[in-house]
Structure 1
Amino acid sequence: MSLKENVDFVKNELDSEEKFLESFVKLERFYKKYKILLIILLVVIIATFIGFNVKNYFDNQNKIKANIAFEKVLKNFNDKNAFKTLEESNKKLYQVALYLKAKDEGKTANVDVMFFDSLSKYKKALEDKNLSELNEVSMQRDFLLKEFALFNKALLEATNGKYNDAKATLKLIPKESKVNELVKILNHYLLTK
């Protein structure tokens, strides 16, 4: 019985070694058959990794360059070199710098940056006392000062004698708004009109 067990053990060992060699041979055949494709795939993966890292490096350098130029612009709005560098490296930051320069000079700038373009339009509408522009800006869904713009619209309407329009505009401002105290004051004035 012991001899039989030993023979079975040796058979099992030989079978497992045979299976191992068989799988190794299959792997070698697969490698030989697809050797060029595997090398190409490896080169593409390595090139992609290197390209991604190089792109990130240059993007970071560009951000640093833009931030330095923006800092120079903030210190001196007349620095044409900093404005040029900013325009070349970061268009949105350049637009913000234009907005800040115009604001510093007491002008309005047409910029194409989220929130700043709305603020410019809002400021221009208030300066011109243009109700249609003020209405357009205040009805934008993502405008930061929406309630304040609505209040100013109602104030302009009341100033122009359009009391019913002013009352209707004030109703658009939610009760939980931070402008609500001003709304109450204007509503109190409009009660007599």
Structure 2
Amino acid sequence: MNLKDNISMVKEELNSEEKFFEKAVMTEKFLKKYKKVMIASAAVVALVIGANLIYDMNKKSNTTAANAALSKLQADANNVTALKELKEVSPNLHDVWVYSQAVAKKDLEAIKGLKSSNALIVSDLAKYESATDAASLEDYASKQDAIFRDLALVQSAVMLLNENKVDEARSKLLKVSKDSSLNKIVSALMHYGLK
């Protein structure tokens, strides 16, 4: 029985080695078949990671440069070089700086120049600040994303009331949102001003 056990044990070892070699051959075939795809995938992953790292470093560099230029401008608001550098590195921050300086100096022409700014809030504020009559305030308020829509409507109504155009003023006040913080003012104007 000892000899039979030895023979069966040798057969099992040969079977397991045969299976091992069979798996090795299958793996080798798989690697040969998909070698180019795996190399291309690894290259794409490496490129994406590299591009992401470069993008992050560039963004950080731009942020640092923008902060440096803004610091120079805060120290000296008339620094033309720092203003140009800020415009190159961060056009939106440049527009915010120009807007803040224009508001501080009450420079309506500079504010009007920012109407087409890519910085959404600056553009909206410039449009609101440059609206000087009831028609331009109405035009501003008619925009869907106008920040000061309700305030523009109230101001327009007050201007119309000063011109004794009561019906037009009433129609403007009726357009003010019911959830607006200006509702008390609208109610007072409707009650006292539009009798």
Task: State the TM-score bracket (shorter-chain normalisation).
Answer: 0.7 to 0.9
Could you say which residue in structure 1 is the equivalent of 2:184?
A: 181
**Percent identity between the two aligned chains:** 30
Contact 1:115–1:143 under 8 Å retained in 2: no
- 1:124 equivalent to 2:130? Answer yes
Shift of 1:68: 2.2
**CA offsets 1:57-101 (integer angstroms, 9 cap, x no match):** 121111111122123323432111211110110111111111112
1:141 to 141, 144, 150: 144
Contact 1:167 1:190 in 2 (8 A): no
More deviation, 95-104/10-19: 10-19
Q: For the Cα contact (< 8 Å) 1:74–1:97, is it kept in 2?
A: no
Alignment coverage as a number of residue pairs:
189
Tell me by how many angstroms 1:22 deviates.
Answer: 1.3
Distance 2:151 2:10 in 1: 90
- Opposite residue 154 of structure 2, the aligned amino acid is F
Deviation, 1:6, is 8.0
Deviations 1:146-190 (A, max 9, x none): 111111111111111110010111111133311112112211223
Seen in structure 2, the aligned counterparts of structure 1 residues 40 and 191 have a Cα distance that, compared at 3 Å, is closer
CA distance in 2: counterparts of 1:35 and 1:102, whole angstroms: 63
Q: 1:168 is matched by which residue type in structure 2?
A: S
Q: Distance in 2 between matches of 1:84 and 1:145?
A: 31
For structure 2, the residue ranges without an aligned partner over 5 or more in a row are none
What is the CA–CA distance in structure 2 between the aligned matches of 1:191 and 1:36, rounded to whole Å? Answer: 80
**2: distance between equivalents of 1:142 and 1:117?**
11
* Unpaired stretches in structure 1, ≥5 consecutive residues: none
The alignment status of 1:78 with 2:84, answered yes or no, reads no
Decide whether the 8 Å contact of 1:148 with 1:179 is kept in 2.
Answer: yes
Q: How does 1:94-173 map to 2 (within 5 A)?
A: 94-108=94-108, 109=111, 110-111=113-114, 112=117, 113-125=119-131, 128=132, 130-173=133-176
Shift of 1:44: 3.6
